[in-house]
Structure 1
Amino acid sequence: MQRKILLIKFLFGLGLFLLVAALPSWAQKTVINGRVTDATSGDPLPFVSVYFKGTTVGVNTDFEGYYSISTEKPLDSLHVSYIGYNPRAKKIQKGITQTINFQLMTAAISLQEVVVRPGENPAWPIMRQVIAHKDANDKRNLTAYEYESYNKTEVDIDNISEKFRKKRVMRKILTVLDSLEQIAGEDGKPVLPFFISESISNFYHRNNPSVNREEILKTKVTGVGLDDGSLVAQIVGSSFQEYNFYKNWLTILEKDFVSPIADGWKFYYEYDLKDSSFVGEDWCYRIEVTPKRPQDLAFNGTIWITAKDFALKQVNLAISKSANINYIERITIHQELGRTAAGPWLPIKNRVMIDIAEISDSWAGMLVKFYTSNKKIVVNNPKPPLFYEKPIEVAEDARITDNNYWETNRHDTLTQQEKNVYKMIDTIRNIPVVKTYIEIANIAVNGYKRVGKVDIGPYLYTYAFNNVEGHRFRAGLKTNIDFSRKWILKGYLAYGTRDGRFKYNGSADYILSRKRWATTGIEHFYELEQLALIDNSLATNSLFFAFTRFGDLTRSRPFMQRQTSAYIQTEIRKGLSQKLTFRNRTFDPIDRLYKFAYYENPNDKDSPIHRSFTSSEITWETRYARDEIFLQNENERISLGADKWPIFTFRYTLGLKGVMNSDFEYHKFSATVIQYLKLGLLGRGRYAIDAGYIPSTVPYPFLRAHLGNQTPFFNASSFNLMNYFEFASDKYVTLNYQHTFEGLFLNSIPLIRKLKWRFVGHASVLYGGVSKRNQNIIPDSANGEAIQSFRALSPHKPYAEFGYGVENIFKLLRVDFIHRIAYLNNPDVRKFGVKVSLQFKL
C-alpha cells in the first residue's frame, strides 16, 4: 500500500513538473506592433480594424495608422479590414514580439443593399440625438476660438504607366533616380513626389460677425518648379483646410457635399449601426454611412458618435468616382475631434487625400495630401474686430529651412518616406530637362517668360489677323518683384501690316502700402479698339479678348483711341475700397468701316457735325465685399471671391469740358451687385444686377452699349441672342442669373447618370431706354453718307431671353439652347439659338 502511495506521489509530481515546464510553450504572449497605410499614397490609415479572425481580440489603428495587439492563443495570422479597401491577412510568428505593417489597396465602393426589417433602424434614434445636439457640439456655438496649427501638404505623381515612363522627361528622371520604389513602401505602387510644404501658424476665429485671421509664422516649401514664395505660403495654411461636418454642406474643390449629419440626413444617407466601443476616453457608437444615390455629392464611410453628448468623435469618409465629379478617383477625409472646455468640439487632426485620375493611358495621375494638427486651443476669448481685418498674413521672416527648427516645432515627426520625398524633389528639380519643361509650363500658364527682372509677354496676344490691321504683331514686357517691390512697369508695341500703324501702351504702378493695398499709377496708350466690346465684365477674360482681334471687325465698330489716365486706390477697411481715376481719351472711328457723326448742338439740325471727339473725366468708385479673400502674389493681388455675401460696386463719373480739349460735360452713375449662391441640393447660382443712369446729352459711345453675341459660342456675360449694337441705353437695369443644378435632375435617369451630365439654366432681362436728346444728337447722314446709329428699348418693354442646356459632355463641352422672347420683329433677329462652350470643371 505504501508503495502505491509513493507511486501516485511520484506520478503526480512528474505530471506537475511537466505541466509547469510546458507553460512557456502554450502560454507565451504574441505581441504585434505595426502600421497600416494606403498602398497608393503611402498615407497612414486611421481607425482600421486589426483583429485575430475567429476571436474577440481586435483593435483599431490610431490617427497615424499605428496599432499594437497581443494574444496568448496559438494563432497563426493577423487580419485587417477597412471600408473602401480590400482586406488583408499576414502570417505571424507565435510567442514573440514582432512588427508587421500592412498596405491596403482600394476597392471599388459598392453601396450596401438596403434590407427592410420590422421595427426602426437602430441607428436612427442615435442620429436624431446627434441632430438635437448639433448646436451644442458645433464649434460655431463658441464666441471665438484660436489655436496653433501645423500644416503639411504633399503632391505626388502616381499611376505611372509604361507609356508615361517612356516620355522623354520621365526617362531622364528615372535614369537619375534609383529610389523611386522606396516612396511607395513595401507593397504599394511607386509614386513620384514633386511638392511638399510645412507651415506653422496661429489661427483665430470670431463669431458675430464670422471672421478669421491666420498668422503664418514659419513655412518650408520644396517643390519642382515652385519657389518658396509668399503666394504658396498663404495657401498652405489652416485657412484652406476647413472641414466642419456640423454644417449641412461642405465645400470641397468648389463642390458642395452633403454632411452625414445634415438636418435632412435621412433623405441623403443609409445608416448602419456596427458597434460601440471606447475611442480614447469616450464610449462611442460606430455608424457606417452610404449615400442613397451613388451619383450624389455625398460620402461613404464611418462616423463615431459619443454616447454621452452625441458629438462627432472621429470621421472616416470617402468620396468615390461614382459621384458626379470629374477627374477625381477618390477623396478621403479623416478627422479627429476633441471637446473644448466650453463644450463644443474642435478638430484636433485632419488628413485629406485627393486622388486625381490620369487623363489618358499615356499620362499619370496625381495625389494631393493635406495634414493638419491643432494644439494650444483657447476658446471664448475674442479679439477686437480690427484684429481680423487681414484674413491671412505671412510673417516677414516666415521662410525657414533649418531642419533643427522643424524637428523641434512640428507637431509630428516626419516618416522615413516623407524624408525621402524631400531628397527626391531636390534631385528632380535639378535635372536640366525638368527645368526646361517647368519653364514651358510656366509660360503656358502665366503667359510670360521670366528673364531676370522682367517678364516677356503675354504670348496670347503676339499675333492676330483682321480686316483693319492685316497681320498684327505685338511684343510686351513687365517688371517683376526682382526689379522692385514697389514699382511695376509695363508696356507693349504692336504693328499692323495693312494699316501701317504702330500701337503702343506704357504704364507705371506704385505700391503705396501692402497692408492696406494702396496703389497709384499712370498709363498712356494708342490702340485699335472695338466699341461693341468695351465692357468691364469681360476685362479678365484674356482668351476672349485675344480672339476678338481676329476676323472681320466691321460689326464691332472699330476706332482708334489715344488715352492717358491716372488713378489712386486704397482699402479703407476690410472689404471696403475706394478708387479715384482721371482719364483723357480721343475717339477716332475707322471711317471706311464705321460711319459715325454727331451734332454739336442736338437741338439745332444746322449745327456743325463732328466725326470724332475728345473727353476728360473723373471717376469715383467705391466697392464693398464683406467676406472677400485676397492673396498677394509678388506685386499683384489675387481675389478668391466672396463666400456668401454679395459684392457691391458704385461708380460716379464726371465729364470735364474744356480740360485737355474735352468736348463734353456729363454725369454718369452706375451700380452693380454680384453674388454667388450655394443652394445645397439645388446646386449653385450666380446673379448679377447692373444699373446705370446718364442724365446728360452725349453721343452714344458714352452710353451703355448692351453686349450682344453674334458668335457661335456661349458667353455668360452677354445677351447671347442680341446683335452687336442692337440696343444702347442712358438708363437701364439688367438682371443676369446663371444656375448649375449639378446632378439634381439627370442623376435620376438610369442611362444618363452614367454620363455624368449636368443640367444648367440661365435668364437675362434688360430694362432700358434712351432720352430724346441723346437720340437726336446722331444725324441720319453726313456729307451724303448714312450714319450708323442704334436702337433704344421701349421704357415699358424689356428685352429678355432664357436658356437651358447640358454641361460636362465628355467632361469638357457645354451646349446651351436659348430663346429670345422680346423684340422679335427687329431685323436679323434670332429667336432661337444653340451655342456651345468649352469649360474645365470638376
Structure 2
Amino acid sequence: MNILIKVNKKLSLLALFMLLTVTAFAQNTVVQGTVRDAKTKETLPYVSIAVVGASQGVNTDMNGHYKITVNGTYTQLQASYVGYRTVMKNILPGREQTIDIVMGNDAKLLTEVVVKGGKKKKYTNKNNPAVELIRKVIANKDKNRSEAYDFTQYKQYEKMFFSLSNLSDKFKNRKMFRNYQFLFQEQDSTAIGGKNLLPMYMEEKLSDNFYRKDPESKKQVVTAHKQVKFDENFIDNEGLQQYFNRMYQDIEIYDNNISLLSNQILSPIANSAPAFYKFFITDTLKDQSPQLVELSFTPRNTTDMLFEGRLYVTLDGNYAVENAVLTVNKNINLNFVRKMMATLSFEKNPDGRYHLSGSDLKMDFGINKNKGGGIFGQRTVTIQDFTVNQPLPKTTYEGSAVVFAKDAEEKSDMFWQSNRLDTLSIQQRDIYKNIDSLQTIPSFKRTMDLITLFIAGYKNFGPFEVGPVNTFYSFNPVEGFRLRLGGRTTTALSERYYFETYGAYGFKDEKFKYFLSATYSLNNKSIYRFPQNYIRASFQHDTKIPGQELQFVQESSFLLSFKRGNNDMWLYNDIFRLDYVHEFRNHFSYNLGFKTWSQSPAGALYFQNTVNGQPNNIRTLKTTELSLQLRYAPYEKFYQGKLYRTPIPDKYPIFTLQYNQGVKDLFGGDYNYQSITANITKRFYWSQFGYTDIGLEGNNIFGQAPFPLLDIHRANQSYAFQFQSYNLMNFLEFVSDHYAAINIDHSFNGFIFNKVPLLKKLKWREVIDFKSLWGGIRNENNPALNPQLYNFPISTETGAPITYSLNNGPYMEGSVGISNIFKILRVDYVKRFSYLDHPGIAKNGVRFFVKFDF
C-alpha cells in the first residue's frame, strides 16, 4: 500500500510538472508600446514590429502605437524601418508588457541612398516592376473600397486641433501672455509647427455611420459634438467649423482625386497616376502576414498638384493598401502650406479585404514658407466596430446625410472620457477652458476688436456695432461727395429682435438718404446663424444704379466709386419690404416677399413716354410686387460674415427659382406682370487640369411693363473683375423681357505655368472666363411700337441711344488672366466680342480681383 501511495505521488508530481510546462508554453506573450524618432521625438507610423523567431508581425499605427501577441517562449522583439537602424529589444515570455522604442537614423543607409556613382538611369514606366504593381492596385481598387460591400456601419471619432505655430519666444513672452504661459505647448523644434504652439481651436465629434449600396445612401448620426466657442461678435463658430471641415476632409485613397483644402489632388492610385507620378519599390516587408511592399512615389513635376510619399501594398492577391503616408513637395503650387503629412491605416476584415481604421492629417500654414508665425492644424479620425453586410431598417438610411442627436452638444466631460476612441494630450484636454480664459484678457479682446474692424468692417460697442467702414465715404456723379454712417444691434441686446439703420448725405444733390429695418427671429437664434427663420420689415430711401443688384459688395463702397465711362444715370428709390425667410437643415429654403417701390430718375436719367404725339415726362414709377424664392443648395458650406455669407466652394450644385408678381392698383402699383427666373451654379473639378465654375440662368417676363421693370442686365463699369456681371457692358446698355445666360470661369491651377522653367517659381495660375447672354424684347414691351411705354434713354449730349435690346444676337465677352499673383491678386484682360458699334463702350480692358486662395 505504501509503495502504491509513493508511486501515485510521483505520478501526480510528474503530471503537475507537465501541466505547468504546457501552460507556460501555451501562455500568450503580449507586447505593446510606442515607436518614436530619437531626434524629433515624433511618433513613427508603419514601423515593422516582429518577434524574433515567430511568424507574426505588425505595423505601428498612424500614432506610432503597436500591439503584438505571440504564443511561445520568445525573448526578442525587432523594429525595422527604412532609413532607420534596426532596434532589438528583450521581452519576457508569457507576460503582458509595455516596451517603447526609440529609433535613430541610419546614417550609413542614408549616405548610400544619396551618393550614387555612374550615370543616372532614366525613369520609365516600361518594364518597371513598381509601375506593374501600382497597375495591379489600380485594377483591384474597386473591390477594396468600403463601398464594395452592400452594407457597412461603424463608429467614428474625429478630433480637430488648431494652434498658432512657430511662435518666437518674444511673442510668447508678450505682456498679454505673462500670466498665461500655461496656454502654450512646447515640442521639438523640428516637429511640424515648430517649437512653440498656442492652441486656439478644438473640435470633437463622435458619430455612428451607415452605408447602403443600393439605392446608395450615406448617413452620419452625430451622437456627441464639442467645440471651442469664441465670442459670436467676432467669429461665426458654426462657419468656422464648416470651413475647417472643408479644408480637412476625409482622404479617400481609392478615389481618383483627393480633396485637400480648396483643391483636388490626383490620388497616387488614380487611373491616370502612372502618367503623373514616378513609382519605386523601396522595401519588402516579409515579416508581415500578409507580406507588404513599400511603394514610394513622387511627382514627375514637383510644382503640380500631386502628393509624394509611400504606400504599403499587400501581396495576398487583393493588392490592397494597408498603410499610406502622403506629403507634398516643397515646390508644389499650393499657397501658404509649409508642411503637410497625412497617414492612413487600414484593418483587415474577416473576408480578407481591408477598411480604413484611422487617419491623421497635419498641416502647417504660413505667409512665409520658411520662417515666421503660422497656423498648425491636425485632424485625426479613429474608426471602430466596423461591420459589413448587416442590413438595418430602411429608416436608418433615409433622411439628411448628417443628423445631430438632440443632446449631441450637451454631453458631459464624464461621457467624453468614457467614449472617446482616442486619447487627448494635456493641451488638447484643457483647450476648452483655456480659450475661455484667453477671451477674458482685455488685450486679447482689443486685438480681436481690431481684426474684426479690419476684416468685417464693424466696430463693436456691446449691444450695437457701427459699420461697415468701407461705406463711410464714397462719391458718384449724382451725389458727389457722400458720407454715410450706420450700424446694427447685436445678440448682446436681444436674441430675437434686431435693428439696422444708416444715414447718408450727398453734398452735390444736397439730399439725405436713410435706411431702417426691424427683424424678429422665429427660432430664438441669431438671424446671422444657419438655419435662418425670421420676419423682416425695412424701408430704404436712397440712390441706386438701375439694374445693379451686387452680391458680396456694397454699392456705396469707396472702391466701387472709381468707374470708367459715363455713370450719370441713377435712381432715387423709396422701397418698403416685408420678408419672411425660412431655411431648413437640408439647405432648402424659401423666401416670401412683399415690396412697394417708387422709382424717380436722377442725374441724366429720365422717364418719358408719348401722349398724343407729344413727349410726356414721368416723375415717379410705382410698383407693388409679391415674390417667392425657392433655393436648394445640398451640402452647402459657408462662413457667415458680418455683411454676407462667404460660400466655401464645393462640387455640389445650387438651384434657385424666383417668381415675382406685379399687382396693379395695389398700394398704387402701376403695372400687372409676372416674372420667373431660374438659376443653376456648379463647380466641376478636372483633377490636374483645374476646375470650372459654370452658371446658367434664364428668365421670362409675362405681361406689359416699361423698361425699368424689365431685366436690366448686370453691367460693370468699375475696374474690379465681377464674376456675376458683364465686365465690358455699360450700365443700362441692355434690357430684356426674356433671356438665357451662361457664365464659365476656369482655373488651370498652374497646370501650364508649372511646366515653364521661370514662371513656375512665381506660382502663378492661368484663368479663362467666358460670358454669353441671349435675349430680346417682345413687341408688346417695345417702346418703339407702344408709345405709352417709357422710351429707351438716349444721351443728352450726343442724342445717341444708350439702351438697347438683344434682338440682334447674343452679347459675348471673354477674358484670359493670371491669378495667384502675390498669392492674392487676379488680373484679367477682357475682350468684348459683340455689339461693338455701340457708342461709349469699352471693347477691351484690364480688370482686377483680390482673393485669398490655397
- Pairwise TM-score range, normalised by the shorter structure: 0.7 to 0.9
Work out whether 1:410 is the aligned partner of 2:436: no
- Residue of 336, 350, 357 corresponding to 2:345: 336
Partner AA of 1:531 in structure 2: I
Q: CA, structure 1 residues 473+710, in 2 after alignment: closer, same or farther (shift >3 Å)?
A: closer
Partner AA of 2:653 in structure 1: P
Structure 1 residue 367, shift from structure 2 partner: 0.8
- Residue of 435, 444, 455 corresponding to 2:445: 435
CA deviation string 1:487-538 (max 9, x = no partner): 5443334444552414122132433699995734232222323234523xx3
- Residue in 2 that maps onto 1:738: 745
Partner AA of 1:47 in structure 2: Y
CA contact (8 A) 1:199 1:236 kept: no
Q: CA, structure 1 residues 386+476, in 2 after alignment: closer, same or farther (shift >3 Å)?
A: farther
Structure 1 residue 428, shift from structure 2 partner: 4.3
Residue 364 of structure 2 aligns to a residue in which SS? Answer: strand
CA contact (8 A) 2:61 2:345 kept: no
- Residue in 2 that maps onto 1:286: 294
CA contact (8 A) 2:229 2:237 kept: no
Q: Distance in 2 between matches of 1:691 and 1:118?
A: 49
CA contact (8 A) 2:155 2:208 kept: yes
Residue 254 of structure 2 aligns to a residue in which SS? Answer: coil
Q: Distance in 2 between matches of 1:33 and 1:643?
A: 41
Partner AA of 2:484 in structure 1: F
Q: CA, structure 1 residues 834+631, in 2 after alignment: closer, same or farther (shift >3 Å)?
A: closer
CA contact (8 A) 2:184 2:199 kept: no
Q: Distance in 1 between matches of 2:759 and 2:642?
A: 47
Residue 178 of structure 2 aligns to a residue in which SS? Answer: helix
Q: CA, structure 1 residues 81+481, in 2 after alignment: closer, same or farther (shift >3 Å)?
A: farther
Residue 305 of structure 2 aligns to a residue in which SS? Answer: coil
- Residue in 1 that maps onto 2:61: 62
CA contact (8 A) 2:691 2:748 kept: yes
- Residue in 2 that maps onto 1:18: none
CA contact (8 A) 2:162 2:377 kept: yes
Work out whether 1:753 is the aligned partner of 2:767: no
- Residue in 1 that maps onto 2:21: none
Structure 1 residue 620, shift from structure 2 partner: 2.7
In terms of mean alpha carbon deviation, does 430-439 or 327-336 score higher?
430-439
What's the TM-score once normalised by structure 1's chain length? 0.81
In terms of mean alpha carbon deviation, does 758-767 or 428-437 score higher?
428-437
Q: Distance in 2 between matches of 1:365 and 1:477?
A: 33
CA contact (8 A) 1:36 1:48 kept: no
CA deviation string 1:539-590 (max 9, x = no partner): 2335885643678997162222111222334468945544332211111222
Q: CA, structure 1 residues 281+631, in 2 after alignment: closer, same or farther (shift >3 Å)?
A: farther
Residue 548 of structure 1 aligns to a residue in which SS? Answer: helix
CA contact (8 A) 1:447 1:460 kept: yes
Q: Distance in 2 between matches of 1:574 and 1:181?
A: 39
- Residue in 2 that maps onto 1:621: 629
- Residue in 1 that maps onto 2:6: none
Q: CA, structure 1 residues 362+432, in 2 after alignment: closer, same or farther (shift >3 Å)?
A: farther
Work out whether 1:505 is the aligned partner of 2:513: no
CA deviation string 1:55-78 (max 9, x = no partner): xx9985432224699xx9xx9xx9
Structure 1 residue 413, shift from structure 2 partner: 2.2
CA contact (8 A) 1:219 1:233 kept: no
Structure 1 residue 125, shift from structure 2 partner: 2.9
Partner AA of 2:196 in structure 1: P
Work out whether 1:651 is the aligned partner of 2:658: yes
CA contact (8 A) 1:37 1:43 kept: yes
Q: Give the root-mean-square deviation of aligned CA atoms.
A: 4.6
Q: CA, structure 1 residues 667+633, in 2 after alignment: closer, same or farther (shift >3 Å)?
A: closer
Partner AA of 2:630 in structure 1: T
Residue 43 of structure 2 aligns to a residue in which SS? Answer: coil
Work out whether 1:272 is the aligned partner of 2:286: no
Q: CA, structure 1 residues 383+769, in 2 after alignment: closer, same or farther (shift >3 Å)?
A: farther
Structure 1 residue 142, shift from structure 2 partner: 3.5
Aligned length: 788
Structure 1 residue 256, shift from structure 2 partner: 0.9
Structure 1 residue 616, shift from structure 2 partner: 0.5
- Residue in 2 that maps onto 1:216: 222
Work out whether 1:690 is the aligned partner of 2:697: yes
Work out whether 1:462 is the aligned partner of 2:465: no
- Residue of 209, 230, 245 corresponding to 1:203: 209
Structure 1 residue 800, shift from structure 2 partner: 1.4
Percent identical residues: 24
Structure 1 residue 332, shift from structure 2 partner: 1.1
CA contact (8 A) 1:780 1:786 kept: no
- Residue in 2 that maps onto 1:20: none
In terms of mean alpha carbon deviation, does 768-777 or 805-814 score higher?
768-777
CA contact (8 A) 1:476 1:493 kept: no
Q: Distance in 2 between matches of 1:573 and 1:600?
A: 53
Residue 246 of structure 1 aligns to a residue in which SS? Answer: coil
Structure 1 residue 835, shift from structure 2 partner: 2.1
CA contact (8 A) 1:651 1:670 kept: yes
Q: Distance in 1 between matches of 2:104 and 2:429?
A: 19
- Residue of 265, 273, 281 corresponding to 1:257: 265
Structure 1 residue 400, shift from structure 2 partner: 5.1
Structure 1 residue 323, shift from structure 2 partner: 1.0
CA contact (8 A) 2:168 2:196 kept: no
CA contact (8 A) 1:36 1:45 kept: yes
Residue 129 of structure 1 aligns to a residue in which SS? Answer: helix
Structure 1 residue 313, shift from structure 2 partner: 1.2
Work out whether 1:521 is the aligned partner of 2:535: yes
Structure 1 residue 761, shift from structure 2 partner: 0.7
Partner AA of 2:158 in structure 1: N
- Residue in 1 that maps onto 2:28: none
Partner AA of 1:662 in structure 2: G
Matched ranges for 1:417-566 at <5 A: 418-419=428-429, 425=435, 428-467=438-477, 468=479, 470-480=481-491, 483-484=494-495, 486-498=496-508, 499-511=510-522, 517=531, 519-532=533-546, 534-535=548-549, 538-542=550-554, 545=557, 547-548=559-560, 555=567, 557-566=569-578
CA deviation string 1:330-366 (max 9, x = no partner): 2211111234567764321110001112448894122
CA deviation string 1:439-484 (max 9, x = no partner): 3223434444455455443344334344506341211113428722
In terms of mean alpha carbon deviation, does 671-680 or 446-455 score higher?
446-455
- Residue of 575, 587, 604 corresponding to 1:594: 604
Q: CA, structure 1 residues 205+241, in 2 after alignment: closer, same or farther (shift >3 Å)?
A: farther
Residue 443 of structure 2 aligns to a residue in which SS? Answer: helix
Q: CA, structure 1 residues 737+91, in 2 after alignment: closer, same or farther (shift >3 Å)?
A: closer
CA contact (8 A) 2:564 2:718 kept: no
Q: Distance in 2 between matches of 1:313 and 1:237?
A: 25
Q: Distance in 1 between matches of 2:298 and 2:610?
A: 73
- Residue of 678, 681, 691 corresponding to 1:674: 681
Q: CA, structure 1 residues 121+714, in 2 after alignment: closer, same or farther (shift >3 Å)?
A: same
- Residue in 2 that maps onto 1:816: 828
What's the TM-score once normalised by structure 2's chain length? 0.80
CA contact (8 A) 1:470 1:496 kept: yes
CA contact (8 A) 1:49 1:80 kept: yes
Residue 441 of structure 1 aligns to a residue in which SS? Answer: helix
CA contact (8 A) 1:770 1:792 kept: no
- Residue in 2 that maps onto 1:44: 43
Residue 186 of structure 2 aligns to a residue in which SS? Answer: helix
Structure 1 residue 247, shift from structure 2 partner: 0.9
- Residue in 1 that maps onto 2:842: 830
In terms of mean alpha carbon deviation, does 642-651 or 548-557 score higher?
548-557
- Residue in 1 that maps onto 2:26: none
Q: CA, structure 1 residues 33+698, in 2 after alignment: closer, same or farther (shift >3 Å)?
A: closer
Matched ranges for 1:714-793 at <5 A: 714-772=721-779, 773-776=781-784, 777-779=789-791, 790-793=802-805
- Residue of 671, 680, 686 corresponding to 1:664: 671
Residue 434 of structure 1 aligns to a residue in which SS? Answer: helix
Partner AA of 1:458 in structure 2: P
- Residue in 2 that maps onto 1:840: 852
CA contact (8 A) 1:270 1:292 kept: yes
